[in-house]
Amino acid sequence: MGSYRVCCCFTRKFKVTEADPPPDVKEAFGKYSDGIHMTADQLRRFIVECQSGDGVSISDVERIVEQVLHKRHPITSLINRKTFTLEDFHHYLFNSDLNPPIISQIHQDMNAPLSHYFIYTGHNSYLTGNQLSSPCSEVPIIKALKRGVRVIELDLWPNSSKDNVHVLHGRTLTTPVELIRCLRSIKEHAFTASPYPVIITLEDHLTPELQAKVAQMVTDTFGEMLFCHNSGKMKELPTPESLKYRILISTKPPKEYLEAEEDKRTKSQRVKDSGEDDVWGEEPSRAVAYKDKNDKYESDESFIDHDVDDYDLKRSDSCPAYKSLIAIHAGKPKGGLVEALEVEKDKVRRLSLSEQGLEKAAEHHGQQIVRFTQKNILRIYPKGTRFTSSNYKPLVGWLHGAQMVAFNMQGYGRSLWLMHGMFRANGGCGYVKKPDFLMTSGPNNEVFDPKAKLQVKTTLKVKIYMGDGWHLDFKQTHFDTYSPPDFYTRVGISGAPGDEVMRKTKPMEDNWTPVWNEEFVFPLTLPEIALLRIEVHEYDMSEKDDFAGQICLPVSELRPGIRAVPLCNRKGDPYASARLLMRFEFVPNES
């Protein structure tokens, strides 16, 4: 019983009750049981026929029955009860550990080159907060690795005495962290969440002497974990499977840094005039709006990552030990964007574009980007004016085949929720196989056109039955001081432009266990890249609605049938109890 005081004069009492099983659950129980009890064999038949559980064995199902009964009836489970009642069946379906909405194992082919995968990528991985003044630390690196992030970015700068290397965001007030602490943390936590390779992208602002010091640190720290391609630039990238438990370094060779710096200086005035001084490693002195009345497409070259900064151009020496560590070479050919997107026959490389650079390049060169990413690595990074560590829409990069869509992992919000959703796929291992449409070529060598108008491939039907668990995760007055919450759910799709939509249920008044029983239909042209967005809010008539949970799920991994969907907080961490009961159904397009 919960009591809410109203106007200091009287109280309102509400009882937290357990909602009855939805009609669909009752119908399923009646069909697959004797009407009173459901045996393990009957449960298995339900899972195979209604939940697409072809691979489930009778022993698996017996373990499920045992777990549910032991949790619900710890005493009676000891007297050999082996069957479900309707309530037991409902509790099983509403258990997100036993009946999750997506595949929880690594199941994709991991023997294709790295360019065939979306890779979970961090931006400025050492920052704890904003881009201008937050402390640098190894802690956010550890958090990212534990979440499954596979690409860690470090900015390398000399310390004040020029005899050691610090990691920090250059030309800002961010306080540094020693490089060696970051490297040791990566070694310790690299494979906590995934056995697949960790790629360290280095942004280097060092002298040859300090580069030699970095080479020694990296070699001493990682030892045999380090993957080096001794014969120079690779013709094809290795596979995630062949790189299990390996560390790769990706940066520009020292000589190319010098050439790029000279090239940058000759263009500096033009870049400044364009109002888009967003070269990697620099932050503009003031926020600049993306759209500028003088902005010309020809200035796109200013959006290409030159990976450089100010240091002595007169030096001619480079560090061969440092260069030999580079497994994935970064850089671009001389010239503009068209030249940068050329696919070279005998080598692979990594190219970086800002988020604006990608959007503007996509206007004219969408198919060239797709063709480039079939063999090479494309990294997208946030524009420099995102001082608060906010993020951008990742679907633009993924739709063009960009493998490394780099995000500020501390920049909590809807964009980051989408990133979390994409990399829940493939068992959360940090590598998600790109859809075939991004990797195949037609008879005339044509590739996927991201601007093409597409036909509906399949329709996803989503039914939201009910929710529960908030009364266990939140204080009684968290959502409303005077009564239980009025929950509603928003559900929709992020993906191809034609697929994007959001819908919502009606609010259920004064109920900790809301029952909606509403169905939504989503036609999908590219289900392979779509994400199902789910948010729960508490309706507030006089103020902004309260947040009550969210999750994003890859549509391609959804398991048909009635499923328990766990909810997460704003940071993407799961709540202990809050969850939804939903049903997913795919209807192929008949045309």
Instruction: Give me the active site residues, please.
Output: 123, 169
- Residue 538 in 3-state DSSP? strand
Q: Who contacts 157 (Cβ-Cβ below 8 Å, separation ≥6)?
A: 165, 166, 167, 168, 170, 176, 205, 206
User: Do strands 458-468 and 487-494 pair parallel, antiparallel, or not at all (unpaired)?
Assistant: unpaired
User: Tokens 């951008």 belong to which residue?
Assistant: 392
Note whether 548 and 578 are within 8 A (CB).
Answer: yes
Which of 419, 349, 344, 341 lies closest to 122 in space, CA to CA? 419
- Would you say how long the chain is, in residues? 591
- Alpha-carbon distance of 35 to 38, in angstroms, equals 8
Q: Tell whether the torsion through CA atoms of 262, 266, 272 and 277 is positive or negative.
A: negative
- Alpha-carbon distance of 48 to 52, in angstroms, equals 5
User: What is the DSSP code (8-state) at residue 172?
Assistant: S
Q: Who contacts 238 (Cβ-Cβ below 8 Å, separation ≥6)?
A: 113, 114, 227
Radius of gyration of the chain measured on its C-alpha atoms: 27
- Helices (H) and strands (E) counted in the chain, each on its own, are 15, 23
Q: What does the longest C-alpha to C-alpha distance in the chain come to?
A: 85
Note whether 247 and 197 are within 8 A (CB).
Answer: yes
131 burial type by CB count under 10 A (0-12 exposed, 13-18 middle, 19+ buried): buried
- Alpha-carbon distance of 116 to 134, in angstroms, equals 35
Note whether 496 and 526 are within 8 A (CB).
Answer: yes
Give, in order, the Cα–Cα distances in Å from 391 to each of 326, 355, 395, 412, 419: 28, 10, 12, 8, 10
- Alpha-carbon distance of 117 to 430, in angstroms, equals 9
For residue 401, give the amino acid letter. G
- Alpha-carbon distance of 534 to 91, in angstroms, equals 21
CA atoms within 13 A on the CB side of 29: 21
**Which residues pair with residue 460 across a beta bridge?**
522, 586
Pull the structure tokens for residue 427: 């068992």
**Which residues pair with residue 38 across a beta bridge?**
84
Question: CA angle 538-543-548, nearest 5°?
Answer: 20
